[in-house]
Every structure is written in C-alpha cells, then in structure tokens.
Amino acid sequence: MKYIIVTGGVMSGLGKGITAASIGRILKNKGFNVTAIKIDPYINIDAGTMSPYQHGEVFVLKDGGEVDLDLGNYERFLDIELTREHNITTGQVYQTVIEKERRGDYLGKTVQIIPHITNEIKERTRKVAKRSGADICIIEVGGTVGDIESMPFLEAVRQMHSEESKEDIVFIHVTLVPLDAQGEQKTKPTQHSVKELRSLGLQPDVIVARCKEPLHEDTKSKIALFCDVPASAVVSAHDASDIYYVPTMMEKEGLSEYLVQKLKLSPKDNAHEWDVFMKKMASIDREIRVAVVGKYAHLGDSYISINEALKHAGIECRCRVRTDWINAEDFEKKPASIDLLQKYNAILVPGGFGARGTEGKILAIKYAREHNVPYLGLCLGMQLAVIEFARNVVGLKDANSTELAKTEHPVIDLLPEQENIKNMGGTMRLGNYEAILKENSLASKLYGSSTLIERHRHRYEVNPKYIPQIEAKGMKFTGRNDHRMEIAEIPGHKFFFSSQFHPEFRSRPGKPSPPFLAFMKAALD
C-alpha cells in the first residue's frame, strides 16, 4: 500500500480537500486504484449533528455515514463510493480507546495519547486502506499545522513514516503564497509553516502553494531552498475558474510524474475519460439560470453537492448553469417578490430541517407549478411540494408537516414505527435505499429501469393516509419503498419531479444524476 499524506498550513480553507481529490484524480488517470481518508480533528463523532453554518454540507455515504463535505469531493473526482470508515474523527478515536480501557483491554496500563491514541489512529487508517483494495491511499489531515486538535494525528502519521518503507509514503504540504501591496509573491508564510511542520518531526516531500497567480520560477526556487525540497516538488496551485481544472493544472506542473518516481510506481494506463470531460466543459455554448430557493443561501458550502450536480448536468448539455441562491425568507417577508422567479429557467428547492423559510419555499413551489416552470425538489423539497399541492389543489388548507407545525392535516408525519424512538439518529433514514418505480412514469424513463438506489437523509415521510386524495387530484407517487413514498411528480407539467432521496450525492463528472440531467434539459427547452 502506498500512502500520500496531505497536511495544511498558514490558514484553513486553502483547499486541501480539492488538492487531495485532484492528486487522486491524476493518479487514477495513470491507471492506479485510489482511495481516500479524511481525518477531522473535531471531537464530534461525525458531521451529522453539525449546523451548515459551522461546517457546510453534511455529505451522506452509501452506508449512511454522515461525513465531512470533502468526502463528497473525493467521490466525485475519483468516481468511487466510500464508507463511514473513511472519515476518522477525534471523537471516534477517543470513544473507542475509552471503551477499550473500560473493558480492560489495556491490562491495567496507564492510557495515554502516545501510544494508545496514536496506535488507534494508525490501526484505523491501515485497516481502511487495506479493505479498499486500492493501490494508493490519500490521507487528508484536517485543520492547520499548529492546531492543538491535530497534534495526535500528525504524531500518528510521523510514526507511520518511520514504520513504512520510504518508497511507500509521501508527505504533501498545502500552504499559501500571498501577494503584498506591490504584487510580489511572499514565501515567508510557507517558510514558517514548513518550520512548524518540521518541529513535529515531519518533512514535506512536496509543497503545493495556493496563490492568486501562477508561481514565478524564482518564487519556486526560493521555497525549494528554504524548505529543503526540489524545485520540481514545488507545485503552483493558482486560482482556477473551476475546481475540475485543478487536476489538469497539477498534471502540467509535473506532480503525477514526480509522485510516480517518488513512490516507485509503474503507470498502468493513460485514461482519457477526464480529457473527454474537460473537452465537454470547453465546448459550452449556452447558459441557463436556475433559482435555488433555500435558507442557507449565503453559504455556498451548504449546497455544494447540488451545485456540482447542476454543473455535471449542465456540462453534459453543453450549457453553463448560472445558479442564484435565493433566501426563502425573502418571499415570506414580501410575498409579492415571488415574481422575481419569472427570470429563471428552472426552480430547485433543496433539503433541510426545521420550519424557518419553509413557507417561502412553498410559495416558490406554487409559482413553479402554476407557471409550468421546471421544478426539482430534493428531500424537504419533495415534502413541501406535497404540502403545497395538498393545500392549493386538494383543498386541505391546513396541510403541513408535524415537523414544522401542529396541523389538522399532517400530510407529512413520522410513521408509527418511528414515533417511540428517542435517539435523534434513530429515526433517520440514512444512506442507500431501493425504490420501486411505477411503469411508464417519468421516474422510470429518467432511470431507464424499474428500480433505483439512491441516498437518503431525512426523518419524516409522506403520510400514506392522504395519498389517495392527493393522487386523485393529479400528483402521482411514482417511486416507493414499501409504504414510504420516494418520488412525487405531476404528469402533464413541463417537468415537476421531487424525490425523498438526495440524487445529488451520486452525481459524477461525466456521469450526471438522471433527475438533474432531465431538469437541465427541461430548463433548456
């Protein structure tokens, strides 16, 4: 097994996740089987209870793992499916070590950070890498070098460096090269960051320098001299117009060739699928406007998978998607402002939890239905579509979800088997579930199959009691998992498709999600 350890310095938010994913992509393009692990130093067990304001989107894996959004980038760039084991947190590590101590597994020894915590980190890392069957495992250590939370993880990878063969492990450090007032590229932050890394016993093999413009050759030479790496191992990671150009930039910098030599690898192939995707991106000649009506409109990372799924579908249609993130609460404060939606080619309502902004989303759904504008609803976006239809078409004026308000007509509710579960995670449907699709429905045409498997993250369901009334008025539930409704669509509408699942989580560059692709085509029409 070959390991590539990615660390970050100077400041957070430099793009370690995109860097790690891009490195994986260029190695995959050489024919290697690549997997990835994200280490998060926070004490939470997983990302499931975190607010989008704190940590951006919660990405859901096939086994129901609620993880950091960087794992979404890994899946998209590498076209793989990961499991919850690929996200290691401080909370998980300490919980396991404490449980072992309580069971007496340490035979009365004093339990310490070294060796017990570090051993647990190494054991988890190696186990995940081995189970994946990959040739190369990329490990991104979250946080910034110098953070107290990251220390045990950095010590663990330092130990791995001494335990593994030199040709089996490479350290890549991501830093910042800012510009001063005169536009000069400054290397001092990188020098200090590498000095901090060295003080922990780690010497980077490669330095990836984030910068606004391509690194000058003299800047590369200066970093190489002060940080004791070859100039060929200083990689310019300057701003790109799109994240999918980053692997190509790194390839041009010679990073894959350097890593192949450093790890003594033999390239097996020269895959062209990424080149095909790049050519599709370059051939874009149209633009459409999509309104995403949500409550985290000012936080781009909250809807990152939706943004990427729209992009994948748009590229497949040779179309640039101009996405406007609209705060649903604006429509609640000024209902007349709903007419702003007339300038958009399509409307999307994403998932979410809680009552805030839901009435504004319902107004947007009503607009899409009444004005025959293509509509895509995801998770809560499906539930609110059912509520809107029940209120304004079926005539159940008080229709609502019991998650959002007390109501005489709970068209969205907890199912009986969920009501007595007190654990917050216990009532959640997480990860992959199958849906049986109705014959000749829009859903069956989109997927080209009678079944589908998609990922879920929700608690409340469409109440089966109201289905006959709703279907009698024209909304059809065309995907089901036993007594749980998975898809609601309105036949005869230009495009009105909503799903209880999150199709965005399985969308890939060059392999767009079927509902998103159809949504784009409807918007273009």
Cβ–Cβ < 8 Å for 377, 349: yes
Within 8 A by CB and 6+ apart from 447, the residues are 437, 514
Cβ atoms of 438 and 476 within 8 Å: the answer is yes
DSSP class per residue in 376-402 = EEETHHHHHHHHHHIIIII--TT-EET
For 373-474, where are the E strands, in sequence order? 375-378, 400-401, 410-413, 429-437, 451-458, 461-462
- Which one of the listed residues 140, 308, 489, 504 is annotated catalytic? 504
SS3 of residue 195 by DSSP: helix
Give all strands of the β-sheet with 136-141 in edge-to-edge order: 87-89, 34-40, 136-141, 2-8, 169-176, 206-211, 234-238
292: enclosing H helix or E strand: strand 286-294
SS3 of 298-327: CCHHHHHHHHHHHHHHHHHCCEEEEEEEEE
The structure tokens 């063969």 sit at: 165
Cα first-last separation, the chain: 49
Is residue 379 part of the annotated active site? The answer reads yes
Would you say the C-alpha torsion 36, 40, 46, 52 has a positive or negative sign?
negative
Cβ-in-10-Å burial (0-12, 13-18, 19+) of 426 comes to exposed
Alpha helix ranges (H) inside 200-242: 217-227
Q: Which of 137, 211, 319, 379 is catalytic?
A: 379
Hey, what are 525's tokens? 């029409």
* Eight-state DSSP code of residue 129: H
CA dist., res. 491 & res. 441, Å (int) = 8
Q: How far apart are CA 390 and CA 163, in angstroms?
A: 63
For 42-98, where are the E strands, in sequence order? 59-60, 66-67, 87-89
What the block records as the tokens of 368 is: 């899409």
> What number of residues does the chain have?
525
Active site amino acids: 379, 502, 504
